[in-house]
Amino acid sequence: MWEPRHGTLGRRASQNPFCQKLLSTDLRLEQIRFLEVGTEMLQYGVGFPIVPESTEILNLIVPTMIHNVLTDTMTIDEAVVDAEAKIQEVMDRE
Do 21 and 55 lie in one domain? The reply is no
Do 72 and 43 lie in one domain? The reply is yes
pLDDT at residue 81, as a whole number: 97
Do 70 and 92 lie in one domain? The reply is yes
What's the whole-number mean pLDDT along residues 46-58? 80
CA–CA dist 87, 94 (Å, integer): 14
User: pLDDT, tens digit, for every residue of 10-30?
Assistant: 455 555 665 555 555 666 666
Is the confidence at residue 32, as pLDDT, over 80?
A: no
pLDDT at residue 18, as a whole number: 58
Do 39 and 6 lie in one domain? The reply is no
CA–CA dist 42, 81 (Å, integer): 23
User: What domain range includes position 62?
Assistant: 33-94
Do 43 and 23 lie in one domain? The reply is no
Is the confidence at residue 94, as pLDDT, over 60?
A: yes
The DSSP string of 56-88 is: HIIIIIHHHHHHHHHTTSS-HHHHHHHHHHHHH
pLDDT at residue 34, as a whole number: 63
Overall domain count for the chain: 2
Do 23 and 37 lie in one domain? The reply is no
